[in-house]
Amino acid sequence: MFDKKAYMREYRKKYVESHRKSSRLYAKRCAIKLRMEIISHYGGHCACCGEDQIDFLTIDHINNDGAKARREGIYKTGSRFYIWIKKSGFPEDLQVLCRNCNWSKFSNGGHCVHETMTMKLMKRTG
């Protein structure tokens, strides 16, 4: 009996091997397009400082539970994470942050340095 799935899998494998450079470029373009779609869906700019340069933006877990979800195997990182976001219907517990705000939030107990500075200013003037 003819196994169409096995045939197509082998065909794709041979195609990718013989067209490695163009296949990688295509995959990279698709990944960039998906990343831009995801970031655009979540507002297209940093939710903390307003940065809108796409190269600086990343997706942040509002509840700081991303590491837990990765450990549990719910999703991976990189392009696979963006694929998961789209397949999951753009979960509401995610937001766009620039890399600086994301790192600051991570290293300051869940609060970005911008947020911390604002809180300190409010205490002084309040």
Confidence category of residue 75, pLDDT binned at 50, 70, 90: confident
Q: Which tens digit of pLDDT belongs to each residue from 24-39?
A: 898 899 999 999 999 9
Helix ranges, 4-98 (H): 4-18, 20-41, 66-71, 79-87
pLDDT surpassing 90 at residue 72 = no
* Surface-to-core class of residue 121, CB atoms within 10 Å of its CB (0-12 exposed, 13-18 middle, 19+ buried): exposed
